[in-house]
Amino acid sequence: MILLLITTVLLVALIVRSILLTRRGRLVNVRPLTPVEEMIPAIDSSVASGSPVLFVPGTRDLDSMQTVAGLSLLDQVARACAERGAELLVLVNRSLVMDEARERCRIAYASVGRGDDWNDDNVDYISDDPLGFVARVDGVIARRRPGACFFFGFFASESLLLAEGGHQVGAIQIAGTASAVQLPFFVAACDRTLMGEELFAAGASLSGDAALLGSLVGQDQGKWLVLILLLLGTALVTLSALGWAPAGEVWTVLSGLLPEG
Amino acid sequence: MDAEKLGSLERIDRRWIFLILALVVGIAVIVEPVFPDRAGELVRPIFDHLDALPAGTPVLISLDYSPSSAPELEPMAAALTRHAMIRGLPICFISLWPTGNNMAERLESGVLREEYPAAEVGKDWVVLGYQAGGELLAHAVVDSLGARFRSDVRGVPLNELPALTTVTGLRDFGLVISLSAGVPGLKEWILYVGDAGHVPLAGGCTGVGAPQFFPYYPRQILGLMAALKGAAEYEAALSARYPDSVPATMQATRGMGPQAVAHLVIVLFIVMGNGALLWRRWRSGRTA
Amino acid sequence: MIRLRPQHLLSFVAIVLVVASFIAPPGGDEPRGVASLFAFADSQFSSWFGVLAVFAFILGGASLLRTHGRRVRRREGDWKYSIVTLVSFLVVLVVGLGKFGGPPGLTGDPFSPEGWLTRIFSSVLSPLHATLYSLLAFYVASASYRAFRIRGWESSVLLGSAMIVLVGRIPSIDSWTDTWPTVFGFLRMEAWSLWLLKVPNTAGQRAIMIGVALGIVTMAVRMISGLEKGQGGRK
C-alpha cells in the first residue's frame, strides 16, 4: 500500500506541476487526436446537410468518470453547434445525467450568445434500461437521420447496436470509450474512435485551455513513471530468476510494499 | 468474372448478409448439428478442481447475469449444477444482480427439480439470492455469510440449512464461481474476494467480456469459461467423465452447432469481400 | 468569508474518499480512530449517491411524462409511439406500486413470482431484451464484413487475428487438426487462437487498463482543482 501511496502522490505531483508550469506560460505541444480533429468538420457537414447532431454520453450515471469525460466533450460539441447553428440532440439514460447535460448545453449556448436558441427538450431522458435506451436511440437515428453521431462514455453491449444504427443512415460517427471490451465494436463500426485514456484527454484537447493541456503533459510524465516501475520490476524478477540474489532481495522488499494480491 | 459483378461482392447490402445468416442459422437450429468438443486449457482446471473436491464440500455459484445473457451463462450454471449434484457437493446460489433470484429460480425448476427429484432444497442446494451492495456484498461475506444473509430466500435461517453447516465465510467453500455478464461481476469477485480474501475463484463470462479476464488467469482465477464455447467445453468434460449421469446432449453443445455455422458464414463473407478487393486491385494494377 | 460553492463540496468529498481508500481500504483490518471516520464516509457517501439517484428517478419520470405528453397533445412527429411509451410507463408504475397479484402491503415483495410485475418482466421485458440482444449477431456479421479488409498492414493484422479467433473457436476444430500430420502442427488454429487471447490480448488489455487509470487520475485532479468547469467550477 505504501508503494501505491507514493506512486499516487508522485503522479498527482507531476500533473499539478505541469498545470502550474503551463499556467505560467510554458508552451505545450500536444499530439493532435484525429477523432477530436474530425468532430468540428462532422458538425459542419451536418449543418450543410441540414441534419441534426446526435450526442450520447454513455449509459452510466454521473458517478462514472467516463460519463464525466463524455459530458466535458458535450461542452465543446454544444458550443460548436451553437456557433454553427446546428441542431443538437442529446439522448441520455440517467436522470442526473439529463440534468447535468441540460445545464452544460444551456451554458455553452449562452457563452456564444445563442442562449435563446437552446431548448432543454433537446436533451431527452429515455430509460434507465440500457436496451430500451438503445432501441429509442436507434429509432431517433432512423427517423431524424443525424449527419453526425457522437458516442462518448461507458457503453456495454449497446455499443454495436448504436454504431450500426448510425452507419445505416450514413452518419459520420465518432466514438470514445474506456471500456476495452467495447472498443473493437466501435473501431469496426465507427469512422473514428477514441481509445481508453484518449477519451479523458479529448475534452482538454478540444478546449485548447492551457491548464487542461498541461494536465495531459503531467499524465504522460506519469506514464513514464509507470513504465520505469514496470521495467524495474521486470528486471528485478528476471535477474532474481537468473540467480542474482541482491535482485531477489530488493524485489522481496518492494513487493512487500505492494497491496495484497 | 465480370468486374462489376465482382466489385459488388465488396459492397454487399447488409440485408443480404442478415438474410443469409438468418436462413443458415435457422436451418442449423432445426437440423441441430452436434460438433464434439473437449475441455480446453482454461476450462479444464475448473472441471478438475470441482471433480477433486470431497463429497459434502459446498460450492458457491454467483449468478451475476440477467435474462439477456442467460443463453450464454445459464448453460454454464446448469453444467456446474449437474457436476455438483453428481459429486455430492452442496451448492449455494447467490447473486450481485437483482435478476439473480429469477435466474436461480430457472435453475431450480429447469435442472434441479427436474433431473434430481431426490435432491432437497436446504440440504443439497440453497438459494441465498440477491442482496444490494454489489462488490461490497461480496467483500462483506468473505469472513461471514451471516454478515449480510440472515436466511435463504424461503426465510429459513442460515444455521438451519444442512448445506451450510460447515460454512462460516467464503473461505469455507471448495470453490467460488462467478458467472458474470457485466458489473458487478467476476472482476469485482477477483478484486474483493479472490485476491483480498484468498478464496479459490473461477469464472464464466459472456464472449464480449472474455478478453478482459485473460490477464487474471491463472493467478487470480483458476479457470475461465468464456461464452457458449466455454460452457460447451465444460459439458464435454462432464459427458466424457460421467456419460450415464448427464443428458446426452446438453444446452451449450446444442447451441454451438448454429454458432459454429454462423462463424463459418461470417468467415465466408469476409473472405468473399477481401477476395473481391484483391481481385480488383490486381485488375487495376494490370490495366494501369 | 469564503462562499461555499459546489466546487468546494466536490473537492472536499473527493479528497476524503481518496484518503479513505488508503487509510481504510476495503478488505483491510478494522479501521480505528480517525481511520474509522474515513471508512464511515467512504461507505456512506456511496450510499447517499444511490439515494440521490433514486430521487432522480422522479425527475426523469416527470421529464418523460412531460415530453411524451406534449408530443401526444400537439400531435408532433411520432406521437403514436409516445402513446405506447406513456401507457407502458403508467401501467408498470401502477402494477409495481399496487403489487397486484403478489403479497400486498408496504412489506410485500414487489418481485414475488406470482406478482403481475414479475409476469410483465418475464413475458414482456425479457423477450424484448433477448430480441435486441439477438440483433448483435447480425450486426457483428455486417460490421465484420465491412471492417475486416486488407487496406493496409494494420487492418491486415486485424483481419488475420479475427480469422484465427473465429476459426479457432469453432467446436471440433481441435478434433479435425488432431488428424493433421505433426509437421503442420504449428498451424493449429485453436492453439493460435488461445495464444492470441492469452498473450497479445492480455498485453493490450493491461496497457489500456493502465492508460485508463492514468486518465482517470488526471481527470480527478482536474475536477478537484476546479479546472473541469462543468462540474460546479463554473464562474
The pTM of this model reads: 0.87
Indicate if B237 and B109 belong to the same structural domain.
yes
Q: Any bridge partners for residue B129, and if so which? A: B94
Residues of chain B whose beta carbon is less than 8 angstroms from a beta carbon of chain A are 14, 68, 182, 195-196, 208-209, 211-212, 220
The whole-number average pLDDT for the span C30-53 is 77
Work out the percent of chain C whose per-residue pLDDT is above 90.
Answer: 23
B165 and B59 co-located in one domain: yes
Residue B242 sits in a domain whose CATH number is 3.40.50
Does the structure show a pLDDT above 60 at A89?
A: yes
Lowest mean pLDDT among A151-155, A215-219, B194-198: B194-198
**C119 neighbors C133 (Cβ within 8 angstroms):** no
Q: What is the mean pLDDT of residues A120-124?
A: 93
pLDDT tens-digit readout, B138-175: 888 888 888 889 999 988 999 999 999 999 999 999 99
Do A195 and A35 contact (CB within 8 A), yes or no? no
Mean pLDDT of chain B: 90
Q: What is the pLDDT of residue C232?
A: 38
Residue range C29-38: average pLDDT?
A: 76
B20 and B157 assigned to the same domain: no
Out of B5-14, B107-116, C169-178, the most confident range is: B107-116
- Residue B184: asked if its preceding bond is cis (omega within 30°), the reply is yes
In a domain, A29, yes or no: no
Report CB contact under 8 Å: B102, C169. no
Residue B37 included in any domain: no
Is there a domain that residue B144 lies in?
Answer: yes
> Do A70 and A164 share a structural domain?
yes
Same-domain status, B48 and B24 = no
pLDDT tens profile C172-196: 777 777 777 878 777 788 888 889 9
Task: Please indicate, yes or no, whether residues A197 and A221 belong to a single structural domain of this protein.
Answer: no
Residues B144 and B167: beta-carbon distance below 8 Å: no
Cα–Cα distance for residue pair A229/A235, rounded to 1 Å? 10
Mean pLDDT calculated for residue range C94-113 = 81
Classify C105 in phi/psi space as left (phi over 0), alpha (psi -120 to 50) or beta: left
CB C219 within 8 A of CB A68: yes
pLDDT at B287: 61
Structural domain contains residue A233: yes
| Residues of chain C contacting residue B196, judged by C-beta atoms under 8 Å apart | 26-27
**Number of folded domains in chain A?**
2
Residue C99, all three cell numbers:
403489487
Q: What percent of chain A stands above pLDDT 90?
A: 64
Mean per-residue pLDDT, C112-132: 86
Q: Compute CA C91 distance to the chain's CA centroid, rounded to the nearest angstrom.
A: 27
CB A156 within 8 A of CB A184: no
Residue of B73, B208, B216 for testing the chain A interface, max A β-carbons within 10 Å: B208
In a domain, B107, yes or no: yes
Q: How far apart are CA A24 and CA A211, in angstroms?
A: 9
- Is it the case that residue C54 has pLDDT exceeding 50? yes
For residues B189 and A118, what is the distance between their CA atoms, to the nearest angstrom? 45
Residue A62: which domain range?
A: 34-207
Residue C231 pLDDT class (50, 70, 90 cuts) = very low
Range of the domain at B273: 3-32+257-287
Residue that has been written with the C-alpha cell 462460516 in this structure:
B168
pLDDT at C2 over 80: no
Position C235 scores a pLDDT of 39
pLDDT for residue C26: 61
- Whether the pLDDT of residue B288 is over 70: the answer is no
**Is residue A8 in a domain?**
no
Model pLDDT, residue B187: 92
Report CA B200 to chain centroid distance, whole Å: 18
Q: Are residues B233 and B152 in the same domain?
A: yes
**Residue A72 CB contacts under 8 Å (≥ 6 apart), including other chains:** A203, A204, C228, C230
Is the dihedral angle over the CA atoms C211, C217, C223, C227 positive or is it negative? negative
Residue A261 pLDDT > 50, yes or no? Answer: no
pLDDT for C230 beyond 70: no
Residue B280, CB-side half-sphere exposure with 13 Å CA sphere: 18
Supply the mean pLDDT for chain A.
91
For residue B128, give the C-alpha cell: 441465498
Task: Tell me: do B19 and B154 sit in the same domain.
Answer: no
Domain C-terminal end among A179, A207, A235: A207
> Distance between CA atoms of B174 and B194, rounded to whole angstroms?
13
pLDDT digits (tens, 9 = 90+) for B239-257: 999 998 888 778 999 999 9
Is residue A253 a part of any domain in this protein? yes
B127: Cβ contacts below 8 Å, ≥ 6 apart: B93, B101, B104, B105, B108, B121, B152, B153, B154
Mutate to test the interface with C, among A5, A17, A131 (most CBs of C within 10 A): A131
**Cα–Cα distance between C165 and C197 in angstroms, integer?**
8
Name the residue among B112, B103, B150 with its Cα closest to residue B128: B150
Nearest of B284, B256, B274 to residue B34 by alpha carbon:
B256
Cross-strand pairs, C234 = none
Q: How many residues does chain A have?
A: 261
- Statement to judge: residues A201 and A244 lie in one domain: no
More confident site: B4 or B58: B58
Would you say how long chain C is, in residues?
Answer: 235
Residue C125 has pLDDT above 90, yes or no: no
The residue in chain B having the minimum alpha-carbon distance to the alpha carbon of residue A131 is: B68
Q: Are residues A88 and A55 in the same domain?
A: yes
Distance from CA of A65 to the nearest CA of C (A): 7
Q: What digits encode the pLDDT tens for the residues A137-170?
A: 999 999 999 999 999 999 988 999 999 999 999 9
Q: Which of A180, A207, A234 is the last residue of a domain?
A: A207
Nearest to C167 among B197, B256, B267 (CB): B267
Question: What CATH number is attached to the domain comprising A92?
Answer: 3.40.50.1220
Residue B6: pLDDT band (50, 70, 90) is: low
Chain A residue closest in CA terms to C228: A72
Quote the percentage of chain B above a pLDDT of 70.
97
Residues B146 and B116 in one domain: yes
Does a structural domain hold residue A16? no
pLDDT tens digits for range A181-202: 899 999 999 999 999 999 998 9
B195 and A261: CB-CB below 8 Å? yes
CB contact under 8 A, A156 and B220: no
> Domain check: are A250 and A157 in the same one?
no
Domain count, chain B: 2
Local structure of residue C29 (DSSP, 8 states): S
Q: C78 CA to chain B: closest CA distance, Å?
A: 25
Are B142 and B263 in a shared domain?
A: no
Q: Give me the count of residues in chain B.
A: 288
Is residue A234 located within the same domain as residue A179?
A: no
| Distance from the Cα of residue C33 to its chain's centroid | 36
Highest mean pLDDT: which range of A14-28, A151-165, C117-131: A151-165
- Which of C139, C148, C227 is opposite residue A211, by nearest beta carbon? C227
CA distance C140 to chain A (A): 8
Checking if the pLDDT of C207 tops 50, the result is yes
Residues B212 and B121 in one domain: yes
Judge if B263 and B243 occupy the same domain.
no
Report the neighbours of C using a cutoff of 3 or more CB pairs below 8 angstroms: A, B
How much is the CA Rg of chain C, to the nearest whole Å?
A: 27
Mutate to test the interface with B, among C29, C43, C49, C197 (most CBs of B within 10 A): C197
| pLDDT for A172 beyond 60 | yes
A180 and A244 co-located in one domain: no
User: Which A-chain residues 162-181 have CB contacts (< 8 A) with chain B?
Assistant: 168, 180-181
Considering the domain architecture, whether residues B13 and B57 belong to the same structural domain is answered as: no
Can you give the pLDDT at residue B173? 95
B129: left (phi over 0), alpha (psi -120 to 50) or beta: left
Quickly state the pLDDT bin for C234 (edges 50, 70, 90).
Answer: very low
pLDDT at C162 over 70: yes
Residues B188 and B86 reside in one and the same domain? yes
Task: With respect to residue A230, please indicate whether it lies within any of the assigned structural domains.
Answer: yes
**Locus of grid cell 474512435:** A193
Question: Based on the domain organization, do A99 and A200 belong to the same domain?
Answer: yes
Summarised one tens digit per residue, pLDDT across range B52-98 is 999 999 999 999 998 888 999 999 999 999 999 999 999 999 999 98
Domain boundaries, chain C: 1-98, 148-226
Task: Provide the β-strand partners of residue B62.
Answer: B94, B178
pLDDT attached to residue C169: 84
